[in-house]
Amino acid sequence: MLAAFMVGAPIPLAALGAASLLLITRRLKPSRVFRELDWTLLVFFSGLFITTGAIETTGLSQRLFALAEPIARQGTIALSAVAVILSNLVSNVPAVLLFRPFIPQLPNAQHAWLTLAMSTTFAGNLTLLGPVANLIVAEAARERGVHLSFAEYLRAGVPITLATLLLGAAWRGLTQ
């Protein structure tokens, strides 16, 4: 995949080529690899991107950002707050995809992109729904007899998220 990137292949084609090579060159049969996939999680993750695409296609994202843009333009903390909320509604990766058309319109796009990267990453600590990785961990824990409730996660997630976001926003403010 790295070689494909270096010669300028499109990212999706490079990833597909690398995955295909791994499937045909492995000692494991592809059927065994496919049995190991967590299909429920894969469908859920796909659904997040389908939902995000629908939000963009229907114009709902434009209406949402028409409301959020004046807030986001108020600076690092405001942009971070909007990113945290959206990240916990649709997950952090789809949230970044929704921000994609709007960040270049902000006064300091580079600062906004870096703030968005920081805040959506830290937003993943807030709830079980922030990043899909939290759901993977919760599911793996459940399979081992450990129940991680939404409320239980919030008890740790809220203070961790607030502390890291405030530190990140302060750092972003200093480096602006």
| Tens digit of each residue's pLDDT (9 = 90 or more) over 97-138 | 888 888 888 878 888 899 899 999 999 889 987 787 888 888
**The pLDDT of residue 53:** 83
d(CA 140, CA 1): 29
pLDDT at 140: 85
The residues of the chain scoring below 70 in pLDDT are 26, 28, 173-176
On whether both 79 and 46 belong to a single domain, the answer is yes
Distances (CA, A) of 6 to 10, 25, 94: 10, 22, 27
The verdict on 135 and 68 lying in the same domain is yes
Residues 65 and 150 in one domain: yes
pLDDT at 159: 95
The predicted pLDDT at position 20 comes to 87
Report d(CA 138, CA 156) in Å as an integer. 14
Cα separation, 66 vs 48, in Å, equals 22
**Are residue 22 and residue 84 in the same domain, yes or no?**
no
Q: Does 47 share its domain with 114?
A: yes
Distance of CA 74 to the CA centre of its chain: 23
pTM: 0.68
Same domain for 118 and 134, yes or no, is yes
The 3 state secondary structure assigned to the chain is: CHHHHHCCCCHHHHHHHHHHHHHHHCCCCHHHHHHHCCHHHHHHHHHHHHHHHHHHHCCHHHHHHHHHHHHHCCCHHHHHHHHHHHHHHHCHHHHHHHHCCCHHHCCCHHHHHHHHHHHHHHHCCCCCCCCHHHHHHHHHHHHCCCCCCHHHHHHHHHHHHHHHHHHHHHHHHHCC
Q: Are residues 50 and 12 in the same domain?
A: no
Residues 21 and 69 in one domain: no
73 and 10 within one domain = no
Question: Could you tell me if 30 and 114 lie in one domain?
Answer: no
63 and 135: one domain?
yes
For 30, the domain range is 1-37
The total number of structural domains that make up the chain? 2
Same domain flag for 101 and 161: yes
